[in-house]
Structure 1
Amino acid sequence: MDRTFKRILPDEGATERLGNDIAAALRPGDAVLLHGDLGAGKTSLARAVIRSLAGDRALEVPSPTFTLVQNYALRFPVQHVDLYRLADPGEVEELALDEALEESVILVEWPERAPGTFADAIEVRLSEKDDGREAEITAQEEAAARLERAFRIRAFLETAGQGDAWRVHLVGDASARTYETIHPSAGTPLVLMNAPERRDEPVIRHGLPYSRIARLSRSVSAFVAVANALRRAGISAPEIYAQDLDQGLLLLEHLGTGSFLGSGGEPVAERYEAAARLLAYLHELEWPRSLPVPGEQDHVVPDYDHAAMAIETELLLDWYLPYVKGRDATAEERREFSGLWDELFRRLDKAEKSLVLRDYHSPNIIWREDRQGLDRLGVIDIQDAVCGPAAYDVASLALDGRATISPQLERTILDAYCAARTAPGFDRVAFEEAYAITAAQRNTKLLGIFVRLDRRDGKPAYLAHLPRIRGYLTRLFGHPALEDLAAFYQRHGVLDGEIE
């Protein structure tokens, strides 16, 4: 079913913002058909879309009137097509636009010169009005939902006093969340977090979806609560400048662009040691379980309990094992696997507990060279924080899933953390056992998650991390607490063989 949106464009700035919003909604496979008379603004709108996808407001975008097709290698391929000079509709086949559409976005001016060429397209009709131009945008349900979300974000920015801001895609993470850099007409950049509440997830066990069992946050309220709590404790998490909790939208402080890794993507020992010391500071604080959220009831930090940790490890059987072995796990294998982890989780019950940020590794730590002390580290992606074994975040850092940590650097990180623990009750032997168990749990989970991201979500880039994760598990299996688990993995060839 088609849906239609109308926008009044009183000036070129409004046209640019419309292109900016349309660009935020586009995905490979989208064709955008631009209708209108000569001078109606089709090329101006196409330029705004292309510049937005390029993240370059000054990008040269020539009209394709004489070349027919102009290609751009941007975040995904884009083709800007002008069919005005097409003499015969049959000539459109020579442009091979149907093949390009499989991996590209195509912007088409004068699409009526080749009627019927593009099915299920987004259609934009531009017309002159007394108060400027009018754009009527029509799309089918799935694309219309994306456009509606983009327009909702613009409305949110207007409410926050940033209606004229220019939006640039920043990153999409391993979840459904996306982020944009927001460039105000004046002032420093901000970050938009776009995280609609989790809904309509399949039920997998005990009437609950995976996210509920794994204690994943369902709304941005958790981020607001944890970020505010961290800042109150002197830890640099983003300040929230505006929020729409119902829509899952936050306007955040931009903590900077400094990479936690070196220029070549290599781990920098100084930065990992600083991050370890920050964790030591965090783990010696008392954290309340109930955290306030402005305008809403308090957020209760959930327990990282046996059920949550177990459902994560099972991703190895559900996704990774079929990927590398070409078969499903047997019922007996599942029983043995579950029993081994149950015993390890019982041992973790005695470990030190603290606030666990859960994804404390290089993509989520910003290095701020110009700052001092704890302020040199900006922490993001904190919405899934739980109360659990303090060693978990140390394991996330010291065996970074996105950067190869040598055994020597791992030991340096652990030493830095333990040296910074000043509380008299800190027990390094107990910590090292909890570290080994939580690191094994996390890396087992990552094997399953990275395959799931490829197979279910169409994100194959994560498969490149599998050899690193397998190497970490092999290293961890030298700890006596993991002897039985190591034997299971070895017996069933979990870490053997080639990865596709």
Structure 2
Amino acid sequence: MSKLQRQAALQQWLSKTFKIASPDLQMVSGDASFRRYFRFELAGRSAIAVDAPPSTEKNHQFVALAEALSQQGLAVPSVYAADLEDGFLCLQDLGSSLLEQQLTPSNAKQLYRQALRLIVQLQQTPVQSLPELERFDAAFIQRELDIFADWFVGQELALPDTWQQQADWSSLCRELSEAIMQQPYVAMHRDFHCRNLMLEQQRLVMIDFQDMVEGPICYDLVSLLRDCYVGWPESLVQDLSLEYFQHLPAPLAQSVSEEQWQRWFDLTGLQRHLKAIGIFCRLDHRDGKAAYRAAIPQTLSYALKVSAAYPELQTFHQWLASVTKGLSDELH
């Protein structure tokens, strides 16, 4: 079914579900997935209609998690109606104010502190109160790292397989996996960044949580503070990370040193950023979404800085620096 046909079917579903005339759908946005969002009038207020093809989108997970997270008091959009078979949703309209659009040097610390409180609230949510979450285990971690290998190294750089020996890739994967799995595991959004947080009447609301897993305590924190789409001075990142660490429950804070916390934070971020570089390339090469290439230089800079800071990652760092030398300008 074409996009126009799906949009017409979405209009028919909304008309039948809410017993209204066929609504005028105004495109709001698309995103890195195959979902499309439309705004329309519903009973005198604005609502969001979502075209989320069931062959590619996790609609069952989104709806189940929206209900469960809401019951736990977390700020998420309400689901007014859903046709899971056809992939149509109707959601609460949270407005158009993404965190990304509101951040300034003067308000960043205040808004990030609010976002950190939301992470804490999510992590305090008992995993058993949520629909069954996949565990971010060694196999999961490796599948994500393979995205970097396949789409950045294989497709973007087109390097021969010998790169894995030159980069000491297996050792890097092992170091990252071990650092991640040493951490306490909690409910994890998995994509907690400035484009998945909306500011609605001064409160932050999470969106795009359908990929939630049970994962390491540092993951959402580093996703937020070392965001692929917006960068901040490392002093601010460190201040907020340590502030978060110092407010951890006493047993954990007492058993983990600041040095250990920093290593968890850095290596968890490195795993995420390598995956993200691969995803940005996949979005371009496979899906024709070249705009995401603009985020590669920022994300790559995180990977280079972190890998440079750890002696055990020096072989990988030197390889990455050599194959990406001068690449930032080309990627734009």
Distance 2:206 2:14 in 1: 24
Deviation at 1:377, TM superposition (A): 0.7
Q: Which residue of 1 aligns with 2:26?
A: 168
Q: Would you say the 8 A contact 2:23–2:41 is kept in 1?
A: yes
Return the letter of the residue paired with 1:464: A
Deviation at 1:328, TM superposition (A): 3.5
Q: Which residue of 1 aligns with 2:316?
A: 488
Shift of the 419–194 alpha-carbon distance from structure 1 to 2, 3 Å rule, reads: farther
Cα RMSD of the aligned pairs, angstroms, is 2.5
Give the 5 Å matches for 1:378-397. Answer: 378-397=205-224
Q: Would you say the 8 A contact 1:364–1:380 is kept in 2?
A: yes
SS in 1 for 2:144: helix
Distance 1:316 1:240 in 2: 34
Q: Which residue of 2 aligns with 1:252?
A: 91
SS in 2 for 1:257: coil
Structure number with greater Rg is: 1
Deviation at 1:259, TM superposition (A): 3.0
Shift of the 395–383 alpha-carbon distance from structure 1 to 2, 3 Å rule, reads: same
TM-score (norm 2): 0.87
Q: Which residue of 1 aligns with 2:58?
A: 219
SS in 2 for 1:243: strand
- Aligned counterpart in structure 2 of residue 188 of structure 1, from 34, 40, 45: 45
Match status 1:465 vs 2:292? no
Match status 1:234 vs 2:73? yes
Deviation at 1:436, TM superposition (A): 1.5
Distance 1:262 1:219 in 2: 27
Shift of the 272–329 alpha-carbon distance from structure 1 to 2, 3 Å rule, reads: farther
- 1:226-279 Cα offsets, whole Å, 9 max, x none, are 212221222110111101111122111112322313558778221112101221
- 1:429-472 Cα offsets, whole Å, 9 max, x none, are 44333222210011101111111211221111111111111211
Deviation at 1:386, TM superposition (A): 0.5
SS in 2 for 1:181: strand
Deviation at 1:303, TM superposition (A): 1.0
Distance 1:399 1:477 in 2: 14
Distance 2:257 2:66 in 1: 29
- Aligned counterpart in structure 2 of residue 446 of structure 1, from 267, 272, 276: 276
- Aligned counterpart in structure 1 of residue 162 of structure 2, from 327, 330, 333: 330
Give the 5 Å matches for 1:16-35. Answer: none
- 1:165-221 Cα offsets, whole Å, 9 max, x none, are 22111111111122222223x42211122222236xxxxxxxxxxxxxxxxxx5301
Distance 1:187 1:485 in 2: 58
Distance 1:390 1:341 in 2: 19
| Runs of 4+ with >6 A deviation | 264-267
Distance 2:3 2:46 in 1: 24
- 1:257-312 Cα offsets, whole Å, 9 max, x none, are 22313558778221112101221232233221652xxxxxxxx2111222222122
Q: Which residue of 1 aligns with 2:266?
A: 436
Q: Which residue of 2 aligns with 1:21?
A: none
Distance 2:175 2:85 in 1: 40
Deviation at 1:330, TM superposition (A): 2.4
Q: Which moved more, 1:153-162 or 1:438-447?
A: 153-162
Q: Which residue of 2 aligns with 1:158?
A: 15
Q: Would you say the 8 A contact 1:223–1:382 is kept in 2?
A: yes
SS in 2 for 1:170: strand
Distance 1:323 1:331 in 2: 13
Distance 2:83 2:127 in 1: 26
Distance 2:240 2:185 in 1: 20
- 1:325-349 Cα offsets, whole Å, 9 max, x none, are 4424327539941342134313322
Structure 1 segments unaligned to the other structure (5+ residues): 1-143, 200-217, 292-299
Shift of the 330–151 alpha-carbon distance from structure 1 to 2, 3 Å rule, reads: same
Q: Would you say the 8 A contact 1:317–1:328 is kept in 2?
A: no
Higher strand fraction: Structure 1 or Structure 2? Answer: 1
Distance 2:170 2:198 in 1: 37
Distance 2:157 2:110 in 1: 40
Match status 1:318 vs 2:150? yes
Q: Would you say the 8 A contact 1:303–1:386 is kept in 2?
A: yes
Distance 2:104 2:155 in 1: 28
Q: Which residue of 1 aligns with 2:189?
A: 357
Return the letter of the residue paired with 2:327: E
Q: Which residue of 1 aligns with 2:235?
A: 408
State the identity %. 28
Shift of the 414–388 alpha-carbon distance from structure 1 to 2, 3 Å rule, reads: same
SS in 1 for 2:94: coil
Deviation at 1:421, TM superposition (A): 2.7
Distance 1:466 1:494 in 2: 14
Return the letter of the residue paired with 2:7: A
SS in 2 for 1:189: strand
Distance 1:286 1:219 in 2: 22
Q: Would you say the 8 A contact 2:26–2:40 is kept in 1?
A: yes
